[in-house]
Amino acid sequence: EAQVTQNPRYLITVTGKKLTVTCSQNMNHEYMSWYRQDPGLGLRQIYYSMNVEVTDKGDVPEGYKVSRKEKRNFPLILESPSPNQTSLYFCASSLLGRLTSSYNSPLHFGNGTRLTVT
């Protein structure tokens, strides 16, 4: 089954304790991205990657790191989590193309990781 898998689904941690949220996709997608969802703000992009070893900042990258060593994996790293990073996080992937025909390629989302930082 084609899917994006995130782990864990729920995570409670304390301020300053490094954590990693894993993301893996089995659709051979070039493009992967992380979003956070907060009430009243919708989903905001944290980081994205257009290919292996190619990553770039999204709209809210502060406090996060990513890596793309393999095509299928795109982990999100919080080196020193703070309470304002309490949120619902989504990993997403899609085919990448620079043609107008790619505008209709939807993002496929993982099931989300609900993170609480105390």
Binding site for other proteins (CB under 8 A): 31, 33, 35, 40-45, 48, 50, 58, 88, 90, 92, 94-100, 102-109, 111-112, 114
> At closest approach, how far in Å is the CB of 46 from other proteins?
11
Give 14: exposed, middle or buried? Use CB within 10 Å, 0-12, 13-18, 19+. Answer: exposed
Residue 1 or 106 with smaller CB distance to other proteins = 106
For residue 83, give both structure tokens: 């309470």
Residue 7's closest CA among 113, 107, 80, 85? 113
Residue 14 or 41 with smaller CB distance to other proteins = 41
Question: What are the phi and psi torsion angles at 9 (to 5°)?
Answer: -80, -35
Residue 65 or 108 with smaller CB distance to other proteins = 108
For residue 5, give both structure tokens: 């898998």
Q: Is the dihedral of CA 53, 109, 41, 114 positive or negative?
A: negative
> At closest approach, how far in Å is the CB of 22 from other proteins?
17
Residue 62 or 99 with smaller CB distance to other proteins = 99
> At closest approach, how far in Å is the CB of 89 from other proteins?
11
